[in-house]
Amino acid sequence: MESITLGTLASNIIWLGAFIGGCLLLFKYAKSIFVKLITIPITEQMLENKKELNKKIDELKEELNKKINNLGEDQCKNYLARYLTDVEDGEKLSEIETQRAYDAYEKYTNIYHGNSYIHSRWNKVMKNRK
């Protein structure tokens, strides 16, 4: 059996440290390449999916807002048609109902920009009412 000298032991420890350091450096480099090759395309795909989802959500919100506006306009038309019919039929209407009709008419003309048979009928009936 050979005797191990202090110089041999020191050189073996230095070699082992360099080997471990080299392995760690290679592992770190491989990890960075893996991150670039795998996660960046996945992240880009996720961003593209997010853009598509946001676009679809915006389209759905726009469609929903149109439907809500149409519903509001229809409700104004219905209320005003009923009110005008009651006025024409000589129904006794309260002041609150009349105020509500004026509010609905204002909303119908200013918000929904309605200008249809309701508008001409309103002018005719309300002119004759006074």
Neighbours of 92 (CB within 10 A): 6
- Is residue 4, in this structure, part of any structural domain at all? no
- Is residue 11, in this structure, part of any structural domain at all? no
- Split at pLDDT 50, 70, 90, the class of 130 is low
Sign for the CA dihedral angle at 41, 47, 50, 52 comes to negative
- Is residue 7, in this structure, part of any structural domain at all? no
- Is residue 31, in this structure, part of any structural domain at all? no
pLDDT digits (tens, 9 = 90+) for 71-114: 999 999 999 999 999 999 988 999 999 999 999 999 999 998 88
pLDDT digits (tens, 9 = 90+) for 11-22: 999 999 999 999
Provide the domain count of the chain. Answer: 1
CA angle 41, 47, 51 (to 5 degrees): 145
Give every CB contact of residue 45 below 8 A, 6+ residues apart in sequence.
none
- Is residue 76, in this structure, part of any structural domain at all? yes
- Return the percentage of the chain with pLDDT > 90, whole number: 58
| Residue whose tokens read 């929903």 | 64
Percent helix, strand and coil across the chain, each to the nearest 5: 85, 0, 15
pLDDT surpassing 60 at residue 1 = no
What residue type is 84 in one-letter code? L
Host domain of residue 82: 36-129
Q: Is the pTM of this model over 0.85?
A: no
Average pLDDT estimate for 27-35: 89
